[in-house]
Amino acid sequence: MRADVDYQQTDYLVIGSGVAGLRAALELVKAGSVVALAKADTGESNTEYAQGGVAVALSDDDEVECHFVDTVSAGDGHCDENAVKVLVSEGPARISELIEWGAAFDQEGNKLAFTGEGAHSRRRVIHAHGDSTGREIVRALRQRAQMESGLRLVPHTFIIDLLVENDRCRGVLSLDRASSRLCVWQARAVILASGGLGHVYRDTTNPDIATGDGFAMAYRAGARLCDMEFVQFHPTALALPGVPRFLITEAIRGEGGYLRNQRGERFMERYHERAELAPRDVVSRAIVQEIQSTSQSEIYLDLSHLRPDFVRRRFPRVYQTCLGYGLDITRDRVPVHPAAHYMMGGIETDLYGRTNIKNLFAAGEVACTGVHGANRLASNSLLEGLVFGARAGQGALSVESRADSPADPIDLNSFLARPAAAEVAAERLSLQKIMRNFAGVLRSGDGLREAAKALGSMPTSQLDGGWDSTALENANLLTVARLITQAAEVRKESRGSHYRMDYPSRDDETWRKRIVLCRTAEPSFKPLLDADRP
């Protein structure tokens, strides 16, 4: 063993402390010791910022079949229908379980309160504290986790790389961000639940920690990634100069909010029959196209026709945040613009989180079961984290019971010397500008090839003199940027969140298949199969 590296061991290792990671950890703790590593504080994750709610078929006028149909429809012909069947069928039980664990969702009388969102045919979205649903879910899961003596949450730990030998994941190499010490964590199974990659774009609703680390480390380790061209842009992020792109929940449009151009006109009816409640990809494109076609610089969200007391009570977090920037959403028009929000693609898994690397599992946004297809149905992500987080935990329980012994050391030299682990993007802002200009809401073949050329020419270097988490984040962002542009250039059609101006139509005959990327092979294709209805 190396004296400059700490060594730790557990039965099961979870990377991430959001909804998928915590739910997986709670499944695993039934059978052994569990350590969950968080990049920042254990309460900081994409889940924490999820406002709108959880889509689940629990209301009296809803059915699992309807949720299935809406999810597949929003996915624009690209969903893995078996995964959707699992999501909508197991979702009600996972929500009921969460309520038993103390999650307090908003109610009307003695029943759950439901709201509508884009592309839903029923009011099936439950919420907490108006617009703080993700925060409440994390609170309930953490409270439950603290009751488990075999579960340990470790904050401020940056994962440098997966430790994979002979196609088997044995653990991870991490950096303690407080002490700058390297640490090897060994486990019989590792579950990646590290969240998203929003900061590959300058305008994003994601927290600072969302730098695509899980995608990049899995790719370096030889995992298969698919659907990387499908990045969802949320239509309504706050668009004030010098202000972070704060998410303004889709539930506002579900409750009757309007989108208006600078002339005060509602314009969404020209783009889709469901107007403001069209699927997210449609609304995002409509906003960009409206700005381009009318030479107007801003689009606004308007709630002034709704009762002020209702708006303040229903959306307290949005109301208070905007008020802090001088906007009263009950009377002022709120400038909005699409921002990178969610990655539909990721590490290819089966329905129990298994990857092509033995003992490595993935769940949540970093994983791709195909459940979201080409465009995630609003408020399905929190449900996905609960359902497939639990399933990834169940999958990991099937791993052989013997964990590696500290006497069976990992050859760290091969990992520390690996150039890909020390690749550094010259400048994050340059990378983000390339992605915004050429791989954003609207794309073209020429632009994507220019992006690939620019990203390919970004200099790389070894990290001499120590480990720097910011440089490692930049390296991960560079990796995922290259994967997104590569997949987007290959897919010569428009589908869901992937819109090619040079191929504006959907082409099922040629492109009803997944693009699979792997470091050790050329891009390959996986046909889509339909499932029986639930």
Is 495 among the domain residues? yes
Residues 6+ apart with CB under 8 A from 179: none
Compute the C-alpha angle 285/288/293, nearest 5°: 115
* Residue 324 CB-density burial (10 A; 0-12 exposed, 13-18 middle, 19+ buried): exposed
Mean pLDDT of the chain: 90
Regions in the chain scoring below 50 on pLDDT = 403, 406-407, 418-426, 464-465
In-domain check, residue 258: yes
- CA atoms of 422 and 464, how far apart (whole Å): 9
Q: How far apart are CA 426 and CA 468, in angstroms?
A: 14
What are the DSSP calls for 63-130, one per residue?
A: -HHHHHHHHHHHTTT---HHHHHHHHHHHHHHHHHHHHTT----EETTEE-EE--TT-SS--EE-STT
Asked if residue 223 belongs to a domain, the reply is no
pLDDT of amino acid 282:
92
What is residue 46's predicted lDDT score, i.e. its pLDDT? 57
Run of H or E including 55 = strand 54-55
Please identify, among 338, 356, 377, the residue that sits at the C-terminal boundary of a domain: 338
Domain with 463, as residue range(s), is 419-527
What does the pLDDT read at residue 50? 59
pTM of the model: 0.93
pLDDT of 425? 47
> Do 231 and 280 form a contact (C-beta atoms < 8 A)?
no
280 is a catalytic site residue: yes
Closest alpha carbon to 268 in 254, 282, 251: 282
Residue where a domain terminates, one of 338, 366, 386: 338
CA dihedral 403, 409, 412, 415 (to 10 degrees): -40
Match 């196209």 to its residue by tokens: 289
Cα 314 from Cα 175, distance rounded (Å): 41
Q: Which of 135, 188, 224, 280 is catalytic?
A: 280
Q: How far is CA 323 from CA 12, 132, 250, 263, 301, in A?
A: 44, 17, 19, 24, 15
* Residue 90 resides in a domain: no
Exposure string over 141-171, b if 16+ CB within 10 A, otherwise e: beebbeeeebbbbbbbbbbbbbbbeeeebbb
Cα–Cα distance, 361 to 389 (Å, whole number): 10
The answer to whether position 76 is within a domain reads: no
Residue 67 lies in a domain: no
**Cα(163)–Cα(167) distance, rounded to whole angstroms?**
10
pLDDT at 406: 47
Give the number of domains in the chain. 2
Write down which residue in 338, 361, 378 finishes a domain: 338
Residue 329 in tokens:
């959403």
Phi, psi of 231 (to 5 degrees): -105, 125
Q: Within this chain, do residues 333 and 427 fall inside the same structural domain, yes or no?
A: no
Residue 358 in domain: no
Domain with 456 in it: what CATH number?
1.20.58.100
Backbone angles phi, psi at 269, to 5 degrees: -65, -20
Crossing angle, helix 81-100 and helix 381-396, to 10 degrees? 90
| E strand residue ranges, 373-481 | none
CA 346 to chain centre: 9
CATH of the domain at 266: 3.90.700.10
Residues 425 and 333 in one domain: no
Structure tokens at 119: 């592309």
pLDDT at 411: 72
Taking the C-alpha atoms of residue 518 and residue 534, their distance in angstroms, rounded to an integer, is: 33
Whether residue 36 contacts residue 16, with contact meaning beta carbons closer than 8 Å, is answered with yes
| SS3 of 289-325 | HHHHHHCCCCEEEECCCCCHHHHHHHCHHHHHHHHHC
> Residue written as tokens 């950890």?
25
Answer for the pair 325, 204: CB distance below 8 angstroms, yes or no: no
Residue 400 Cα distances to 33, 403, 411, 526, angstroms: 14, 8, 22, 29
Residue 73 included in any domain: no
pLDDT of residue 48: 60
Give the amino acid at 319. Y
pLDDT tens-digit series, residues 191-209: 999 999 999 999 999 989 9
How much is the pLDDT for 180? Answer: 84
Helix (H) or strand (E) holding 220: helix 213-221
